[in-house]
Amino acid sequence: MREREVEPTPVSGSVIPTFSYTPTGPRVVFGVGSAERELSSELDMLGMSRVLLLSTAREHHQHSEVIRGVGRRIVAHITDIRRHVPRAVAQAAIDIAREKQVDGLLSIGGGSTTGTAKAIALDTGLPILAVPTTYAGSEITPIYGLTDNGVKETGRSPRVLPRTVLYDPTLAMGLPRELTTTSAINALAHCVSGMFTAASQPVSDLFATTGIKALATGLYGTVADPDDLRARYQLSYGSYLAGTVLATAGSGLHHTICHILGGAYDLPHAQTHAALLPHVLRFLQPWNPIAAREIASALGRADGDAASAVQHLIHSIGAQVRLRDIGLPKTDIAKATDLLYARLGHHGKSVPSRPELLALVQAAYDPRMEKNV
Ligand code: NAD
């Protein structure tokens, strides 16, 4: 009898991959209305009865129904949430956690709120239950960031990885259109740039390409109708996959450029990603045409031009962002280029040369400048 024919698993290129992968991550719960329905039992599972809630006043008001259901467990509430988690703010939160003898942290909010909970967990070892309300993806990574006098220190620790994440697509319904799109493009950047890192491997690439498709579907859907729950689900699912890529494959050139410029000019996080992503990708794609082809294909483009595919997506949803609009002065283009050149180093083959960096910054500053390079 003839042996059953098996469709081979496609292997990109001619090299059979060698890789290791250790799955790590929180328990995740997805569902429309899951925050209100499941929060209490999920807190029980973690044995959290004296809870420190982290949420801004706005988030507290917006999600009051969710919070009311677990109100009797909340012994303290921190509303002082700041971008990039200043160390002094983190220390004040740690002091409250100790003073109130809490046994767990509940964060309801975006990446800044999750980041504040992580800072407390890093110091105290307290467990976190995270309920994200944006698409930043921080809730799924063991990465933390703290800022001291404008300098951001980032690190990794299993202590900061939340134990449980509740993804409820309804919670992001209040996000304004601009924040919805830039936050989802921030997630797209995790997927895309994670395919060009040294630590990328077939499993993270699988998460990345699935994430790219989910995010693109979700973006088109929510731009057409912000209340479309199926589209909101795709964005939540895509942001989970994207955060997993960031946690496993790490961040690459794109994130480094965003962090250097964001830190130096206090640029808003998600918008900076949106402004730079197509231009960094245009530089990166010749270094890994297989990754570029997979990204382009996930976005419905057959010619392998990932940068144009991402640019097209950003334009189609009306989310173009230029560095000139978010705080980079025109007179600082050369200075910003020098800063990048100095901080990135110029020894690696896949690190842009100074003229390439200048072209990249000019293009992200205003795409019309690209032609003049
Ligand atoms: P954010 O948390 O700063 O929130 C942006 C704004 O949106 C805030 O004003 C917030 O109040 C508001 N907001 C949040 N949810 C809302 C909702 N549902 N409706 C209306 N308004 C809402 O921004 P972000 O983009 O979520 O997070 C950015 C931060 O997260 C950065 O500091 C970044 O470095 C960090 N981050 C960390 C990781 C990691 O792995 N450690 C990953 C991604 C991002």
| 198-224 confidence digits (pLDDT tens) | 999 999 999 999 999 999 999 999 999
State the Cα–Cα distance between residues 171 and 356, nearest whole angstrom: 41
**Ligand 1 pocket, 131 CB below 6 A?**
no
Task: Give the side-chain half-sphere CA count within 13 A for 19.
Answer: 16
User: What's the gap in Å between 143 CA and the centre of ligand 1?
Assistant: 14
Distance from residue 355's CA to the centre of ligand 1 (Å): 33
Whether 226 is in the pocket of ligand 1, judged by its Cβ within 6 Å, is no
- Ligand 1, atom 39, residue with closest C-alpha: 138
Q: Report the DSSP pairing between strands 51-54 and 27-30.
A: unpaired
Task: Express each pLDDT in 177-193 by its tens digit.
Answer: 999 999 999 999 999 99
Q: Are 111 and 160 in contact (CB under 8 A)?
A: no
The pLDDT-based confidence of 1 (bands split at 50, 70, 90) is very low
| Residue 83 banded pLDDT, cuts 50, 70, 90 | confident
Determine the distance separating the centroid of ligand 1 and the alpha carbon of 139, expressed in angstroms: 11
Q: Is residue 2 over pLDDT 50? A: no
What mean pLDDT comes out for the span 245-268?
A: 91
Is the dihedral angle over the CA atoms 297, 300, 304, 308 positive or is it negative?
negative
Q: Give the model's pLDDT for residue 153.
A: 87
Confidence (pLDDT) at 373: 41
**pLDDT for res 351:** 85
How far the first Cα of the chain sits from its last, in Å, is 65
Per-residue pLDDT reduced to its tens digit, 23-62: 889 999 999 999 999 999 999 999 999 999 999 999 999 9
Per-residue model confidence (pLDDT) at position 208: 98
- Rounded to whole angstroms, what are the CA distances from 5 to 1, 2, 8? 12, 8, 9
What is the overall mean pLDDT for the chain? Answer: 92
Neighbour-count burial for 96-113, b at 16+ CB within 10 Å, e otherwise? bbeeeebbbbbbbbbbbb
Q: For ligand 1, pick from 61, 81, 112, 165 the residue to mutate: most ligand atoms within 8 Å of CB.
A: 112
- Categorize the per-residue pLDDT at 3 as very low, low, confident or very high, splitting at 50, 70 and 90: very low
* Ligand 1 centroid – CA 166 distance (Å): 16
Q: Which pLDDT belongs to residue 370? A: 61
Q: Give the distance (Å) from ligand 1 centre to CA of residue 110.
A: 3
CA distance 167 to 373: 44
Instruction: Return the HEC string of the chain.
Output: CCCCCCCCCCCCCCCCCCCCCCCCCCEEEECCCHHHHHHHHHHHHCCCCCEEEECCHHHHHHCHHHHHCCHHHEEEEECCCCCCCEHHHHHHHHHHHHHCCCCEEEEEECHHHHHHHHHHHHHHCCCEEEEECCCCCHHHCCEEEEEECCEEEEEECHHHCCCEEEECHHHHCCCCHHHHHHHHHHHHHHHHHHCCCCCCCHHHHHHHHHHHHHHHHHHHHHHHCCCCHHHHHHHHHHHHHHHHHHHHHCCCHHHHHHHHHHHHHCCCHHHHHHHHHHHHHHHHHHHCHHHHHHHHHHCCCCCCCHHHHHHHHHHHCCCCCCHHHHCCCHHHHHHHHHHHHHHHCCCCCCCCCHHHHHHHHHHHHCHHHHHHC
CA 356 to chain centre: 26
Indicate the residue type of 220: Y
Ligand 1, atom 8: nearest CA belongs to which residue? 110
CA of 108 to the centre of ligand 1 (A): 11
Determine if ligand 1 sits within 6 Å of the CB of residue 269. Answer: yes
**pLDDT per residue as tens digits for the range 345-367:** 866 667 899 999 999 999 999 97
Q: What is the pLDDT of residue 303?
A: 96
82 neighbors 111 (Cβ within 8 angstroms): no
In the chain, what percentage of residues exceed pLDDT 90?
82
